[in-house]
Amino acid sequence: MLRSQINAEILRGIEFISGFGFVLPPFAHWSPDKMQAQRAGIQGIIDGGLGWDITDYGESDFARLGLFLFTVRNGRLSELQAGRGFCYAEKIMISRQDQISPMHRHILKTEDIINRGGARLAIEMFASDPDGQIDAQAPVTVATDGILRTLKAGDILLLEPGESVTLEPGNWHAFWGDGGDVLIGEVSSVNDDHTDNVFRDPIGRFPEIKEDCDPVHLLVGDYAKLTA
Q: What is the domain range of residue 111? A: 3-225
185-216 pLDDT, tens digit per residue, is 999 999 999 899 999 999 989 999 999 999 99
Secondary structure letter of residue 207 according to DSSP = P
Write b or e for each residue in 159-181: b if 16 or more Cβ atoms lie within 10 A of its Cβ, otherwise e: beeeebbbbebbbbbbbbbbeeb
Residue 227's pLDDT band, with cuts at 50, 70 and 90, is: confident
pTM here is 0.96
**Residue 61 pLDDT > 80:** yes
What's the pLDDT score for residue 228? 65
In the structure, what pLDDT confidence band is assigned to residue 56 with cuts at 50, 70 and 90? very high
**What integer is the mean pLDDT of 155-164?**
98
Those residues with Cβ within 8 angstroms of residue 84's Cβ, 6 or more apart along the chain or in another chain: none
CATH number of residue 147's parent domain: 2.60.120.10
pLDDT in tens, 64-87: 999 999 999 999 989 998 999 999
Alpha carbon distance 66, 9 (integer Å): 11
pLDDT at 11: 98
Question: Domains in the chain: how many in total?
Answer: 1
Q: Is 202 helix (H, G, I), strand (E, B) or coil?
A: coil
